[in-house]
Structure 1
């Protein structure tokens, strides 16, 4: 089903005629007339990437440009435009549709995952799909995080307007400073001791491999289990060129279940906003395998961008949003590309080139321009 994936997506994605991929154009509002923009996210947990990347980071960035932005709940004053960030439960949609109709309030639905292709025997996810379709068809405007996802949304919804594609902005590194030391001293100590031992055993940074991410998704296969498909490959690599693999995730029992009996040194560290950036930078090669399915094909490139931003060379599978980085690193998590990464003569040069490309296209200022263009279109 997924054969020739790279060529298929590179040929089909540019021809999405109904999709409006927002260009980075400056906003035309005068300072004194800039609207109040509020976000109503599905969570405010900073451990959740979609909240940090598609809500908090955008809100803070627009504030620095002089906009009034805020989080919203139904008890607060109405903004000029409301963005529902990955919030599409039926109760919330009934609330916003009623408020919008009564007050002529424009609202935007922003979501970044494929909730359309779900198990038809799972009533919970079928209900979620129906709620998402209802939300998308009632929203003033719909924003998707990838071109592939916008194509799926078009197939499943009858929309009022074209979909706006706005990707995730590069997430900057979070330094492990004094605040982190006071907030999570045990995690800081654990990370520091682990890094010291790892550097002693594997002084060549390129051979310190890392995988990071949620352990599992509630409605799609993938996550930590994606690494298990690489067991034989990594063991063969390790026989000739010793490597170390670190898993940074959020499910220690699952890690113990999946990685017992490996003939490669594998360690687990809990994901924490206080230690993640520092830990990631202690490694030289990041594995980003993907179980290719309808869910992963629609994912954004934020994990690849995160690796590059932290100066770690990514070895990634060819989902559509990653393919534009093939000129820097070939796609495919396989023995050839893993060996190429851990023996690369000038990894810093490759990362520097990829980072410059990522900054131009996915830097926060570029992404903010796209959100501003969206709001400009709503009020024009």
Structure 2
């Protein structure tokens, strides 16, 4: 039996949904004996996956599991060693992470950049995009009719948060370097920008003085996001360059391409292989092409690339190969 331990099982948390709930569903359908961790089943587990949790409680649990012969897997999807302000609390958390890394029989990550910053060997387990259901496809067809402007662009993601003892430069604020260009284009075209995120206060602070139509939509379920993205003509994914963001996975870019959205993004290691299918770094020409209705990237080929390499079934295959080796 394999147990999967999360801080919570909330499907709105991307790391829980993408790196646990969705692959678990596929694995269970194949008859793999895997379940969300249950305290009453501790003695039965041959393998337990810890989804980026390493507080003292889970360190102690991992030690007990190791003591009974259970294999411990630690899955990480962010660079939790990043500590630019040398914050003592973050440093302490980093020390606990090192303890968990030392305890783990296997460490898994979504990409090679995160591999490079860890002090122990790790294995890449891909993020996967869940296929659209028939209902979602039908709903997306209806939603396409509800458009605010002739050209509609979208940014979606977490508002930014704090990490390393400071408010991160990432999240919504990553759009700020492109304000002047977007405002200029909005004077020439019927253009609107929508931000789908989870902090209205930060949205107001970031976009309140933009001289163009900018709309806030509250982050909801994954199904709601997929449905609403059908209303847009292009997706903007700027990424600030720091040791935290450089380790991010491709999940937002892969989702946008799978849903047929042209994408402009700043290049990070996880995005590099998507260069033939989106616009990386060239914001000047990229924004002009999106707003004018031209397409400088091969979105259809991008969707096919995602379907061939980065769907949930591929992630489930990676996990199953790991579990077969550990069993």
Give TM-score scaled by structure 1 length: 0.78
Report whether the alignment pairs 1:131 with 2:79. Answer: no
1:363-378 matches, cutoff 5 A = 363-378=311-326
| Structure 2: distance between partners of 1:280 and 1:144 | 27
Counterpart in the other structure of 1:92: 58
Q: For structure 2, which runs of at least 5 residues remain unmatched after alignment?
A: none
1:162-181 matches, cutoff 5 A = 162-173=121-132
Q: Say whether the 8 Å CA contact 2:24–2:316 is kept in structure 1.
A: no
Counterpart in the other structure of 1:324: 273
| Structure 2: distance between partners of 1:213 and 1:251 | 10
| Structure 1: distance between partners of 2:86 and 2:201 | 28
| Structure 1: distance between partners of 2:132 and 2:171 | 22
Query: Can you list the C-alpha shifts for 1:37-56, whole angstroms capped at 9, x where unaligned?
Result: 21001221111100000000
Find 2:34's aligned residue among 65, 69, 77: 69
Query: Can you list the C-alpha shifts for 1:292-338, whole angstroms capped at 9, x where unaligned?
Result: 11011000000001111221111111011001111122301622111
Counterpart in the other structure of 2:161: 217
Q: Say whether the 8 Å CA contact 1:248–1:271 is kept in structure 2.
A: yes
- Range with bigger deviation, 353-362 or 334-343: 334-343
Note closer, same or farther for the CA distance 1:93–1:47 as it changes in structure 2 (3 Å cut).
same
Counterpart in the other structure of 2:81: 116
Counterpart in the other structure of 1:42: 7
Counterpart in the other structure of 1:208: 152
| Structure 1: distance between partners of 2:214 and 2:81 | 35
Q: Say whether the 8 Å CA contact 1:38–1:82 is kept in structure 2.
A: yes
Q: Say whether the 8 Å CA contact 1:328–1:350 is kept in structure 2.
A: yes
Report whether the alignment pairs 1:311 with 2:276. Answer: no
DSSP 3-state at the match of 1:108: strand
Q: Say whether the 8 Å CA contact 2:250–2:271 is kept in structure 1.
A: yes
| Structure 2: distance between partners of 1:57 and 1:239 | 43
Give TM-score scaled by structure 2 length: 0.90
Counterpart in the other structure of 1:7: none
Q: For structure 1, which runs of at least 5 residues remain unmatched after alignment?
A: 1-35, 181-190
Find 1:151's aligned residue among 113, 116, 124: 116
Q: Say whether the 8 Å CA contact 1:38–1:81 is kept in structure 2.
A: yes
Report whether the alignment pairs 1:297 with 2:262. Answer: no
Counterpart in the other structure of 1:232: 180
| Structure 1: distance between partners of 2:23 and 2:76 | 14
Compute the displacement of 1:340 (Å): 2.0
Q: Alpha carbon RMSD of aligned pairs, Å? A: 2.2
- Range with bigger deviation, 248-257 or 296-305: 248-257
